[in-house]
Amino acid sequence: MRDLTVPEQKEIWDRRNANESFRDLAPDPRVLHYIGDLPQQSRRALDLGCGNGRHLLQLAEIGWRCTGIDWSTEALVQTRQALSGFEQTTSVLNGDFRRTTFSGNYFHLILAIDVIHHGKRRDLERAIAEIKRIKAISGDVLVSLPGMRNAPAEHQADWIEEQTVVLRNGLEVGIPHHFIKEEDIGKLFRTFRKISAERVVLPMPPGVEPLHSMHENEWYWIRLSG
């Protein structure tokens, strides 16, 4: 399968995000736990690829000034709806996680949950460099990335480079997915002073079509600072 153009990818994301299993997705318990541990003093948060706004809402409710970006119009509509009532303290923008227009050293918290692996290795590296650039020096980051055990079987996808596939079927058909190995983490995030990563194997989400995992629903949850 050929690489899709950006407009084609956005169309697929719009359709996928409108699917009710994603539209109604509740916040991830790991993100809730992470937010619960944050310092009381709330400041500026960014959710890269904010989807239905499920995580930004949690932050807005405890007083953070929230920004969400996504390149799917459907996601922007859903996030704006989720954040209605918090218009004074939130902004929801169309944007690409590989290059944003935010000033450097700006956000005290950046979330990138199930997002920045949607591309080739180079796209993931660009997203990480962008996170590093716009994160406040004292800021924190939470990223989730799928592990190689989450990659599909040969017959389900086309491998377009090492560790990157384009799915042949399902709601994310045509979207590139990059899967990481544990040993990639230190290299990918080498510009951060503090990296802590946890490997998690989750049950397949009920009611959600297994999008790519043929082996295990393996994820790395990575906390960064500095």
Binding footprint of ligand SAM on the chain (CB under 6 A): 13, 17, 25, 49-52, 54, 70-72, 75, 96-98, 113-115, 118
Q: Which amino acid is at 38?
A: L
Residue 108 or 118: which CB sits closer to ligand SAM? 118
Residue 75 or 185: which CB sits closer to ligand SAM? 75
> Please, what is the Cα angle at 28 between 8 and 187, to 5 degrees?
70
Exposure of 120 in the CB half-sphere (CA atoms within 13 A): 8
Which residue number has the CB closest to ligand SAM?
Answer: 51
Residue 98 or 132: which CB sits closer to ligand SAM? 98
Residue 99 or 137: which CB sits closer to ligand SAM? 99
The tokens of 168 are what? 């042949």
Residue 26 or 155: which CB sits closer to ligand SAM? 26
- Smallest gap, in angstroms, from Cβ of residue 153 to ligand SAM? 21
223 - beta bridge partners?
Answer: 142, 196
Residue 51 or 152: which CB sits closer to ligand SAM? 51
Sheet containing 217-225: order of strands:
90-94, 65-70, 44-48, 107-113, 135-146, 217-225, 194-202
Contacts of residue 67, Cβ cutoff 8 Å, sequence gap at least 6: 44, 45, 46, 47, 90, 91, 92, 93, 102, 107
- Smallest gap, in angstroms, from Cβ of residue 58 to ligand SAM? 11
* Residue 107 φ/ψ, nearest 5 degrees: -95, 135
- Smallest gap, in angstroms, from Cβ of residue 78 to ligand SAM? 9
Contact between 141 and 224 under an 8 Å Cβ cutoff? The reply is yes
Residue 150 is given by DSSP the state G
Residue 13 or 107: which CB sits closer to ligand SAM? 13
- Smallest gap, in angstroms, from Cβ of residue 223 to ligand SAM? 16
* DSSP H or E run through 75: helix 73-82
- Smallest gap, in angstroms, from Cβ of residue 90 to ligand SAM? 15
How far apart CA 85 and CA 91 sit, in angstroms, is: 12
- Smallest gap, in angstroms, from Cβ of residue 10 to ligand SAM? 7
- Smallest gap, in angstroms, from Cβ of residue 151 to ligand SAM? 16
